[in-house]
Structure 1
Amino acid sequence: MEIRGLRKLVMRYWRLGTQEALRSLLLAAQVRQLQRFVPELQPSDVTRGPTGVRAQAMDTDGRLIEDFVFAQGEGEMGRRILHVRNAPSPAATSSLAIAEMVADKARDTFGWTTQ
């Protein structure tokens, strides 16, 4: 893990991170935030559910990477593998346009030709 990048990310978004943590702990704080969009919403309308986590890559400057990261391994076997990392949203993994982009990258990386 790149600690310098993590420190920069935390320092850049400390206020937002604190607010998110408070809203996850205090249901009333979350409801107040939601009332910006649905003013009639009340705490009795909301129930807690499981918390989700979405992994996202970050660079060494602490900036979140918003796109796919392509990489190959090393050695004879590693060069035959194309890793696609950092799917920025669950929907992106089922997009035909993104599938085409990944296929194009694989074709270019491995020198494949279309017939």
Structure 2
Amino acid sequence: MSAAHNTRQVADTELPGGGFSVPFGNGEQCHNGSGYRLTWHPARGRIKIAFFRVATDDRVALLQHIRTITISQRQASDCQLDDVVSLDDVPTELLALMKAAGYTPAEEVSAE
């Protein structure tokens, strides 16, 4: 078999397509660019996904909710949706990488 592949190395500073993947999580555009998603694993068998709505042309991304998925082989898997969230609920390292990808994470302010 040939070991040649049609791939290219991506530099550490390069974030193709506004996304990234690091050992503790990843970020990517979703919904045809109108959204952004951060995923991380806070504990074994648990996945958290923060969903942002890209609200402006200059890529301000408003945090909408965080989904927590618990996976278990011994019992049924579970998914919880928390829509009362703040940026403090998202790992600062992932927010920093999101900013480096050209997005500005923000919280939505309700007009009450």
TM bracket, shorter-chain basis: under 0.3
Structure 1 or 2: more strand by fraction: 2
Larger radius of gyration: 1
